[in-house]
Amino acid sequence: MRKGWMLMAVFAAVIAIGFSAQSALAQGSVVGQVIDADDNPVEGAHVMIHQMGRGGHGNRGFSARTETNQRGVFEFPRVPEGNYMIAAGAEDLGRAHEEIEVVDDEATRVRLQLQEGRGGGRGGDDREVGVIVGHVQTPGGDPVAGAMIMLHPLNHQRGRHHGGMRTRSDREGNFVMMDIPAGEYIIMARVRGGAARARIEVIADQRNRVRLVLHRVGRGDDGGGGGRDLLRN
């Protein structure tokens, strides 16, 4: 009997420690407003936040979606501490995105002004979208900061995506492209003297991952990774 009580006490202690660790996670909030080109609030805009790099949930990172209210205001109340990409979009009004930092027990405020065509906007295309989460590295595995990332649809679907989308890798070699219409794309990374290219299929409502390993660009090399002379670490 005493042994049974002891086991129950140990079990309760383990549960208590688990709850304590969970509640101790550093979290903040994100509060923002979406406005149009004329500074008017946008109701019903889609807003998505995604953690850049590795977060408190292993390799998955934190991501969430919401919509703006009548005043164009949105809120993500419990967001793990870290660096994020936040993006907003509304049909016929364009899109906007910005990098933010969430600090423990603080409210991060952001204002997103929609611009038509910004970040490869969809215009009136109301298809489902996904997120591209990527990493740029040397052949030796070192992260590459500041690489220009370019995304282009395959030829057969150019009419379904207006132009290419661009971003840059952060200091850890990570990058995020949000609100990308589902479909097949060519994604490229470039730095001075080096490039990489890959084919990626974007699936709606998923984090679509890609790793770009830079190779040195020589004469006759289009940056697709065919060169033999690799970037040195």
Note the maximum CA span of the chain.
Answer: 80
**Which domains does the chain show, CATH number per domain?**
1-118 (2.60.40.10), 125-233 (2.60.40.10)
- Are 143 and 125 within 8 A, CB to CB? no
Residue 56, class by beta-carbon neighbours within 10 Å (0-12 exposed, 13-18 middle, 19+ buried)? Answer: middle
Is the pTM value of this prediction over 0.85?
no
Residue 90, class by beta-carbon neighbours within 10 Å (0-12 exposed, 13-18 middle, 19+ buried)? Answer: buried
Percent of the chain whose pLDDT exceeds 90: 39
- What mean pLDDT do residues 47-58 have? 66
Q: How far apart are the C-alpha atoms of 52 and 37, rounded to whole Å?
A: 27
Say what the pLDDT of residue 55 is. 46
Highest mean pLDDT of the ranges 9-18, 121-130, 182-191, 221-230: 182-191
Residue 103, class by beta-carbon neighbours within 10 Å (0-12 exposed, 13-18 middle, 19+ buried)? Answer: middle
- Are 97 and 119 within 8 A, CB to CB? yes
Q: Residue 55's closest CA among 88, 90, 28, 20?
A: 28
**Range in 6-15, 137-146, 160-169 the model is least confident about:** 6-15
Mean pLDDT of the chain: 77
The model's pLDDT over 152-205, given as tens digits with 9 standing for 90+, comes to 998 655 444 444 688 888 888 888 887 788 899 999 999 988 999 999 999 987
Query: 3-state DSSP call for residue 8?
Result: helix
Q: How far apart are the C-alpha atoms of 129 and 75, rounded to whole Å?
A: 21
